[in-house]
Structure 1
Amino acid sequence: MSLLAVLLAAVGTADLTRLVPTQVSRRTDLVRAVGVGALVALVLARALGFGWHSIWIAVLSGAVVTAVSLPHTRWTPWVLPASIVLVLATGHQVPRARPPIATWYESLEITGLAEVSIPDAALAVAVALFLMQSANVVVRRVLTDAGPDVIAEEQQLKGGRILGPIERLAIFALALSGNVAAISAIVAAKGILRFPEINRDHASGLKAEYVLVGSFVSWGLALVFVPLF
Structure 2
Amino acid sequence: MILAGFVLLAVGAADLVRQFAPRRWIGYLAAGIILLLLGSVSDALLPMIAGLVIGALWVWSMPSERPAPLGFWPAVLLALVAVGSVVWFPARVDSGMIGAVWSLRSPFGDIPFDLAMLSLGAGVFLLESSNLVVRAALDGEHTWRPIDRGASTDPTAVGSAVAPAGDGQSVAGVATDDARPDTATPLSAPILGAPAEATPTRDPRAGFQGGRLIGPLERILVMILTLAAAYPILAAMLAAKGIVRFPEISRDGETGARAEYFLVGSLVSWVIGLSAAFLVWWAAHS
TM-score, reference length from structure 2: 0.65
Give the number of the structure whose residues are more often helix, by fraction. Answer: 1
CA–CA separation in structure 2 for the residues paired with 1:115 and 1:180: 24
2:38 aligned partner: 44
1:20 aligned partner: 20
Residues 24-173 of structure 1: pairs in structure 2 closer than 5 A? 29=24, 31=25, 34-35=28-29, 38-51=32-45, 53=46, 56-57=49-50, 59-70=52-63, 72-73=67-68, 75=70, 77-86=72-81, 88-89=83-84, 92=89, 97-106=94-103, 108=104, 110-112=105-107, 114-147=109-142, 149-150=144-145, 152-154=170-172, 158-173=209-224
The unaligned stretches of length 5 or more in structure 1 are none
1:41-79 deviations in whole A, cap 9, x for unaligned?
A: 42332243214x257435523433343345645535323
Q: State the aligned residue count.
A: 219
1:217 aligned partner: 268
Change (3 A) 1:83 1:220: closer
1:186 aligned partner: 237
Change (3 A) 1:205 1:87: closer
After TM superposition, the runs of 4+ consecutive aligned structure 1 residues lying more than 6 A away are none
The unaligned stretches of length 5 or more in structure 2 are 146-168, 174-205, 282-286
CA radius of gyration, larger in: 2
Change (3 A) 1:36 1:75: farther
Change (3 A) 1:144 1:76: closer
Change (3 A) 1:55 1:213: closer
Helix, strand or coil at the partner of 2:12 = helix
CA–CA separation in structure 2 for the residues paired with 1:104 and 1:15: 30
CA–CA separation in structure 2 for the residues paired with 1:96 and 1:41: 21
Segment of structure 1 superposing worse, 33-42 or 219-228: 33-42
2:194 aligned partner: none
Helix, strand or coil at the partner of 2:255 = coil
CA-based RMSD of the aligned residues comes to 3.1
1:12-54 deviations in whole A, cap 9, x for unaligned?
A: 01111123263x6xxxx4x556545543542332243214x25
Q: Identity of counterpart residues, as a percentage?
A: 28
TM-score, reference length from structure 1: 0.79
